[in-house]
Chains A and B, each alone.
Chain A
Amino acid sequence: MALGPWCWSMHATGAPEMPLGVAPAVTLRGGTVALWALTSGPVDSSLHRAALGAEATASWHAAVLALPRSLPVLWRDLRDLAQHPPVPVHLCSHLAEPGIERRDRVVDGGSFGLAFLLQLASRVLSLPLPADIIASVAIDELGRTSRVDGLYEKLDGIATLAPRISRALVAASQHDEVRSSGGRLQLVPVRTAAQALEVVFGDALGIRLAEAGSDDARRRELVDAFFRLALVGRGAAVDWSPVERGARIALRDWPPAFDDRYRLQFAAGVAARHERNAGEIAVPGPAWLDAQPAPIRVGVLTHLVQQCADTGTPSPEQIEPYATTQVPKDLGAAFVPQLQLAGALARLWAVTGRPADALEMQQRVARAFVATFEDSQVSFQLSEWFRLAGALGDEEAFARAEAFLAKVEATCGLTPSGAPYVQLARARAGIELGQNTAETRDRLDALSRDLSVPAHVRWSAARWSARAWRRAGERALAEERLTAMELERSKAPHAARYLLLAEFDAAQDGQGTAEAFMDRLAALDPGPLTHLRQAYEADAEIVRFYPY
């Protein structure tokens, strides 16, 4: 009872304050729900402690890796803390069904994942957790949450054992199934560890970050960390919203220094683009760019070109002329960052009325990547190759893409994360080229149901599947897919975009009308639509070259 206030009566006086580095956690074994305090501090020898099993230890290691990926930046070295996993100290038990209590001497499983991360965060940030919160969520090394077993019984046990706990963090993917089982507990769904940290610490995180900027050396390190994170790419963080928020807090609260300010603005803009296709980044002057090491300069330009394509700012006139000078004419002589910049330029051309140039460039870049044994980089280029071949009705380019894909697959194959994008682009191109086969439709259906691929890929696959079935004369099957999308719309980010496109497709095929379609789409995705509306007049043309 001295380890934390959770089990104290609401009316009792003298309940302990929440100490630093202590988090509550819950286990279910047999019918026994046990409440534990995860602590790294000294423990009274009269208390029952447990060791961590192999799976729980792996979960701790995942939490150690996930924490720095879930915070905008870290200002304390984790290495020492990570060496010492917390000890679970038994607080109390509840039997969910008739039986004899299982008092574990070894606790195992993945359900401590987020509790481990919160305990570690409490130590690193020197912030105690709120007393009213508990987490029962598994996490992976990237901070993505996943379901735990026995959650219904665990919630029941928490409600009975811990009067002062009123909020339970659960995995977003599990929230629906336990939504009505929370009883008096408020269930808070979290998709990522970053979201959980936001729920748990709220403004306190920002305050700590602002405080960290008062030290010159530390501030410089932190600015470096923001800038590096932004340059690495979308995969560097699972959730970019804390990065954007952190950079904006730093911009607001830290003493101004030109170089620091630009790099923080750059990080905030890139994070906003990754999160919601938004954010503005100013184009730095040539002096700043020339002062950067070449790979950094090219990396910054690549992001600025992508920012231009996806958000509309900076304008193509501001960034394209200088960026083009950084790409060698002979791509065989280009380094990887230069090839990435070339790919970004092609992406910009594809939405600014130059799709044939874009197709040509993406083919060249794809070949250059493979020639330099950078096969893992090729999935974006190949996706665009397929997509633009379909949009342009270029059957020869499609055939070349097929041959190139076969060659890549014969050597080392596509990366698991890149393959779904290529499959989707290939299928949609097939449909646009009139190769609407049963195999294509099945592939799209399978992709739309595959929960392991990103949500926007699944949604785009569902939209193209509906279109393919309708064109194959199977209107009922097309409607079925649209209904499924409609039912799921609240669960996915960007769902409105794909529903709107599906509505437009149906209107094109003579089913209903899509009123004020282009304005609604532009409101959802202003960046690419601004470019496309300048390049094309007809709605059908705009949608044909719209990348999603």
Chain B
Amino acid sequence: MTTEQIEAFLAQAFPGQPLPGQSGLDAGAVGDAERLLLPEPQVDEARTSRPGVAIVPPALLHVRSDALEAAGIEAGFDEDTRALVLTASAHLAFGLAEPGQLRTSGDAGGTRFQVPTDRAHAFGVWSAAGPLAIGSVGPRAIELRVVNAWPAPPLPASVVIANWSRWHATMAAGRVARGFEPDATEADAIPARRWLRSVTADQRALIERFAIVRLHAIESQLLRLQEGLGVDQQLDFAWQSLCWHRDDVEGLRVLLREAGAGQTLATAVRGVDDIGRAVRFSWPSDIDVHDERLQRVSEADPGAWWGSTRRQVVWL
């Protein structure tokens, strides 16, 4: 999809939203494209298959889409119907839109949809608060992009990194607002803290949704550690990454709280923190996880389980 096609599609599918280039759905709100190659029949299969070797009909194939995952939507691929199957839990309900179909806030209430891949077409995934992702089906692949449909936060130039996504910028705003960003001043924190007061309730709801999804990922990783399931890196790196993610969510929680929002996120955070504390409580003493950021976390909130392991967590 070209930028023009994306903007036209969003304008058509979400007529209630500001137009591209205005305060809401600017080009920076749309993430990079990821390309999911459609499964092709395996030519070798017929040549090498032997009588008596029964091949079990496949269940739903696993799909990894970072764009959909960020929006809290799981994907699978049904080989029989050749459709992308999208699902989500009830509190992350969503809907599908195609060009020409008008979608308005409050219209999204499903938890399972199928996107056929037997014809080329574009589609959008949206929540009651606005768009979450857009996609297009081609002859060989599905292209997906996450949509962070809220305006860019006010960040000092010293903090901004080129090619940052809207999501990265939003998390940076959380760090600036809390005084955790080394390259930002105290004065920079004020506009960051006030930023979400100036956006719409739907846009705050979208940020909260993405934050909750991130929190679920943290929860799932904590449970993997707690249950002794595998992590793909050494434990110290895995824990450091988990702590940073938790701290990112903390920044978003602060931003939303400053705008009088984020109650659902705050409730969800409490549950995940219970697990985090339990894991941290039994953390092996010989695995040291420490850096400047985690040190700041420990200093700012001695009860935070995601701080430096060199500091005792104060169990409140």
Contacts and interface: CB of A to CB of B under 8 A. Distances in A.
Interface of A: 9-12, 30-31, 45-49, 51-54, 87, 93, 95, 97-106, 108, 156-157, 159-163, 183-184
Nearest to A90: B56
Interface in B218-235: 227-235
A95 B64 contact: yes
Contact of A51 (B34, B48, B61): B48
A31 B48 contact: no
A109 to B, nearest CB: 11
Nearest to A155: B232
A104 B39 CA distance: 10
Find the residue from A11, A53, A93, A100 having the highest chain B CB count within 10 A. Answer: A100
Contact of A102 (B39, B65, B66, B144): B39
Given A11-B228, A30-B37, A156-B232, A95 B62 contact: yes
A376 to B, nearest CB: 38
Find the residue from B50, B58, B232, B237 having the highest chain A CB count within 10 A. Answer: B232
B39 A100 contact: yes
A24 B62 CA distance: 21
A53 B56 contact: no
A157 B36 CA distance: 19
B158 interface: no
Contacts of B48: 51-54, 106
A408 B270 CA distance: 83
Interface in B46-100: 48-50, 53-56, 58, 61-67, 77
A31 to B, nearest CB: 7
B64 A163 contact: no
Contact of A10 (B54, B228, B232): B228
A119 B79 CA distance: 32
A167 to B, nearest CB: 14
A4 B61 CA distance: 22
14 contacts: A9-B229, A12-B227, A54-B48, A95-B64, A98-B35, A100-B36, A100-B63, A101-B39, A105-B42, A105-B49, A108-B44, A157-B232, A162-B230, A183-B233
A44 to B, nearest CB: 9
B45 interface: yes
A162 B62 CA distance: 17
Contacts of B27: none
Contacts of B38: 100
A55 to B, nearest CB: 10
Interface residues of B, number: 37
Contacts of A162: 230
Contacts of A105: 42, 45, 49, 55
Contacts of A11: 227-228
A48 B39 contact: no
B58 A103 contact: yes
Contact of B234 (A98, A108, A161, A183): A183
Nearest to A45: B54
A102 B36 CA distance: 11
Contacts of A99: 35-37, 63-64
A183 B227 CA distance: 19
Q: Nearest 6 CB-CB pairs, A to B?
A: A10-B228, A95-B64, A163-B230, A98-B34, A101-B62, A11-B228
Q: Taking chain A's interface residues, is the majority helix, strand, or loop, or is none over half, making it mixed? A: loop
Given A161-B230, A184-B235, 20 more contacts: A51-B53, A52-B48, A54-B48, A95-B62, A100-B61, A100-B62, A100-B77, A100-B142, A101-B63, A105-B42, A106-B44, A106-B45, A106-B48, A108-B44, A159-B233, A160-B230, A160-B232, A183-B234, A183-B237, A184-B233
A49 B42 contact: no
A53 B228 contact: no
A102 B232 CA distance: 20
A52 B235 CA distance: 36
A108 B56 CA distance: 19
Contacts of A54: 48
Contact of B56 (A9, A48, A98, A160): A48
Given A9-B228, A100-B77, A183-B232, A48 B58 contact: yes
A10 B229 CA distance: 6
B123 to A, nearest CB: 16
Contacts of A51: 45, 48-50, 53
Interface string B273-285: 0000000000000
Contacts of A95: 62-64
Contacts of A10: 227-229
B35 A101 contact: no
A104 B58 CA distance: 10
B45 A159 contact: no
Interface string B106-125: 00000000000000000000
B229 A163 contact: yes
B244 to A, nearest CB: 18
Contacts of B44: 53, 106, 108
B75 to A, nearest CB: 9
B32 to A, nearest CB: 10
Find the residue from B38, B233, B234 having the highest chain A CB count within 10 A. Answer: B233
B211 to A, nearest CB: 22
Nearest to B33: A98
Nearest to B39: A100
B234 to A, nearest CB: 5
B129 to A, nearest CB: 25
A184 B53 CA distance: 37
Contacts of B142: 100
A515 to B, nearest CB: 44
Find the residue from A45, A101, A159 having the highest chain B CB count within 10 A. Answer: A101
Contact of B55 (A12, A49, A93, A157): A49
B36 A98 contact: yes
Contacts of A47: 56
Nearest to B75: A100
A45 B52 CA distance: 11
A98 B227 CA distance: 26
A157 B233 CA distance: 10
A162 B234 CA distance: 14
Nearest to A93: B62
A163 B53 CA distance: 30
A46 B57 CA distance: 9
A93 B42 CA distance: 18
A327 to B, nearest CB: 56
Contacts of B144: 98
Contacts of A52: 48
A103 B60 CA distance: 10
Nearest to B62: A101
Contacts of A49: 53-56
B264 to A, nearest CB: 28
Given A53-B44, A101-B62, A159 B36 contact: no
Given A9-B227, A105-B55, A106-B44, A98 B61 contact: no
A161 B224 CA distance: 11
A103 B61 contact: yes
B152 to A, nearest CB: 25
Contacts of A97: 64
A501 B34 CA distance: 57
A45 B53 CA distance: 10
Contact of A101 (B49, B77, B230): B77
Nearest to A181: B233
Contacts of A161: 230
Contacts of B49: 51, 105-106
A12 B226 CA distance: 11
A183 B38 CA distance: 31
Contact of A98 (B53, B66, B233): B66
Contact of B228 (A101, A106, A163): A163
A315 to B, nearest CB: 56
Nearest to B230: A163
